[in-house]
């Protein structure tokens, strides 16, 4: 399975490298100019990318597979359908972990380089990146299930629908008397225990999604 | 027969508008079988069922005496498969494709792949997406042969190729058969290819096996009525509803 995961990481390397270049370039610019605002902007990029990386890497990888019609190539080789599915889930998760690490390092570095920004412009915790990444794992799982059940067009529809839901659903559960801005700030200022719970639950959903996708793909006939 | 490469027994499969009905035939080890039929006859469906890319509604497929679904990976490690459409990671180079594929075949022979690529004139540094149709076919065949499989399954490998490339591919097939222990199932609607290489012929029309036997036996039977009959004549007769031979 390592070669399948590596293949996905290699195929999607531009997405990862572009993200690193964007974040790194702006961060270095902030440090060189001593601009707290630019450095903070770079850290926000790192955090936002943590949120986007797993679902969009998964979607990109699925779309590439479909464009090249290589699922049939893989199924013609001695590779079990379950392994093919697992590799997609593992590769996307690895990318998410990588970006989470980058965001943790960025925020920690920002806090040491710009101590005045702590508690003001800096994210409330260096672990906001991993937390945001974890929030999107269920979206990535459904995206990949849609791909293995139907195609990348269904996966694209799933990702767009769920992304909108990620913003709308919390409003339904918003406690009375709290504005949307206050509520989102609260969600994005998680306590360490909230981060742990979200990580565990999201990972569980993600791997459950993987099992569902494996069952679906093992039964699917390929043209 | 002890050494049977492929055995299909009563395989049926239905899709809307198409039905594969009670397909049975066997290919003894060490021979080349041509699976021939008009477009849409069911050749690709049979091959997809054998490769477990499609599931039979009923019947059994065994390859090397093993159930093709229960022992899928074990069977596929011993098969070289060239599908109808040659799908590669187009943005990757030929060399990368070979390095990727070889990891799944313990018997992969890199020097043999390099020799095949050189013989076929395929530049291993070229991206797969930049290859011509003929070179994609050749790459597909090279990847399928490089692990020295016991059985090659080729789905319309010569379709759409010019006569020069077709002849090269067929010559390579005969070379591959050299030690007499390997088998080939070769689906095509270009019957002249079979005249050159096939030992056995299975004719399929409208999802049903019309005839399956040694090529010479089929020709001998056909030539009782028509002294100059060829495989193509037998196929045309079958497609027009002629009696099974």
Give me the percent of chain A exceeding a pLDDT of 90.
49
Give chain B's domains with CATH numbers.
1-78+150-160+187-245 (3.40.50.300)
B89 touches chain A (CB under 8 A): yes
Check pLDDT > 70 for residue A205. Answer: yes
pLDDT at B36: 92
pLDDT-derived band at A112, boundaries 50, 70, 90: confident
pLDDT at B187: 92
A3 touches chain B (CB under 8 A): yes
Find the CB nearest B100 among A7, A64, A72.
A7
Query: Nearest CA to CA, how far is A218 from chain B (Å)?
Result: 10
pLDDT-derived band at A187, boundaries 50, 70, 90: confident
Q: What is the pLDDT of residues B146-187, one digit of tens each?
A: 999 999 999 988 776 778 878 888 888 888 887 778 999 999
The verdict on a CB contact (< 8 Å) between B53 and A68 is: no
pLDDT at B245: 46
pLDDT at A42: 81
pLDDT-derived band at A24, boundaries 50, 70, 90: confident
pLDDT at A184: 80
B55 contacts in chain A (CB < 8 Å): 219, 221
pLDDT at A111: 80
Coil vs helix vs strand at A124: coil
Mean pLDDT of A179-188: 81
pLDDT-derived band at A37, boundaries 50, 70, 90: confident
A68 touches chain B (CB under 8 A): yes
Q: What is the pLDDT of residues B20-62, one digit of tens each?
A: 999 999 999 999 999 998 888 899 999 999 999 999 999 999 9
User: What is the complex's ipTM, to 2 decimals?
Assistant: 0.89
**What is the pTM assigned to this prediction?**
0.89
Check pLDDT > 80 for residue A108. Answer: yes
Q: What is the pLDDT of residues B193-217, one digit of tens each?
A: 788 788 999 999 999 999 899 999 9
Q: What is the mean pLDDT of chain B?
A: 90
**Count of Cβ atoms closer than 10 Å to residue A55 Cβ:** 27
**Run of H or E residues at B171:** helix B163-176
Query: Nearest CA to CA, how far is A80 from chain B (Å)?
Result: 7
Check pLDDT > 90 for residue B63. Answer: yes
- For A96, A133, A138, B210, the CA distances from A51, given in Å and listed in that order, are 8, 5, 12, 59
Burial class (CB in 10 A: 0-12, 13-18, 19+), A156: middle
Coil vs helix vs strand at A81: helix
pLDDT-derived band at A117, boundaries 50, 70, 90: low
B101 touches chain A (CB under 8 A): yes
pLDDT-derived band at B129, boundaries 50, 70, 90: very high
pLDDT at B46: 96
pLDDT at A113: 83
DSSP string, A157-195: HHHHHHHHHHHHHHHHTPPTT--HHHHHHHHTS--HHHH
pLDDT at A34: 81
Q: Which one is predicted more confidently, B182 or A223?
A: B182
């Amino acid at each position: 399975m390592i070669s399948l995961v590596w293949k996905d990481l290699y195929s999607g390397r531009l997405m990862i490298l572009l993200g690193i270049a964007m974040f790194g370039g702006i961060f270095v610019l902030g440090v060189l100019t001593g601009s707290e605002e630019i450095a903070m902007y770079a850290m926000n990029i790192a955090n936002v990318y943590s949120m986007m990386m797993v679902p969009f890497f998964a979607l990109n990888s699925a779309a590439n597979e479909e464009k090249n019609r290589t699922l049939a190539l893989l199924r013609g080789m001695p590779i079990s359908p379950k392994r093919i599915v697992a590799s997609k889930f593992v590769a996307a998760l690895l990318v998410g972990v990588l970006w989470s690490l980058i965001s943790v390092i960025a925020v920690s570095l920002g806090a040491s380089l710009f101590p005045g920004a702590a508690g003001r412009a800096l994210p409330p915790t260096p672990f906001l990146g991993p937390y945001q990444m974890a929030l999107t794992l269920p979206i990535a799982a459904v995206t990949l299930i849609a791909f293995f059940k139907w195609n990348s067009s269904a996966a694209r529809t799933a990702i767009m629908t769920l992304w909108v839901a990620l913003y709308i659903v919390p409003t339904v559960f918003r406690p009375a008397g709290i504005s949307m801005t206050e509520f989102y700030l609260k969600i994005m200022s998680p306590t360490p225990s909230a981060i742990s719970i979200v990580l565990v639950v999201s990972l569980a959903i993600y791997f459950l999604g993987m099992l569902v996708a494996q069952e679906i793909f093992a039964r699917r006939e390929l043209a | 027969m002890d050494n049977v490469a492929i055995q299909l027994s009563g395989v049926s499969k239905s899709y809307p508008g198409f039905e594969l009905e009670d397909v049975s035939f066997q290919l003894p080890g060490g021979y080349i079988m041509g699976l021939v039929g008009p477009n849409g006859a069911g050749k690709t469906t049979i091959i997809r069922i054998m490769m477990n890319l499609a599931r039979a509604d009923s019947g059994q497929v065994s390859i090397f005496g093993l159930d093709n679904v229960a022992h899928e990976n074990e069977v596929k490690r011993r098969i070289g498969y060239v599908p109808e459409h040659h799908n590669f990671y187009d943005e990757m180079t030929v060399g990368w494709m070979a390095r990727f594929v070889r990891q799944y075949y313990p018997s992969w022979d890199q020097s043999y792949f390099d020799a095949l690529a050189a013989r076929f004139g395929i530049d291993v540094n070229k991206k797969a997406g930049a290859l011509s149709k003929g070179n994609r076919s050749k790459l597909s065949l090279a990847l399928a042969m490089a692990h020295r499989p016991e059985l090659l399954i080729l789905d319309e490998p010569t379709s759409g190729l010019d006569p020069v490339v077709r002849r090269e591919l067929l010559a390579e097939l005969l070379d591959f058969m050299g030690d007499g222990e390997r088998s080939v199932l070769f689906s095509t609607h270009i019957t002249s290819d079979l005249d050159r290489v096939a030992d056995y012929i299975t004719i399929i029309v409208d999802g049903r096996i019309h005839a399956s036997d040694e090529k010479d036996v089929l020709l001998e039977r056909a030539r009782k009525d028509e002294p100059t009959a060829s495989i193509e004549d037998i196929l045309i007769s079958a497609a027009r509803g002629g009696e099974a031979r």
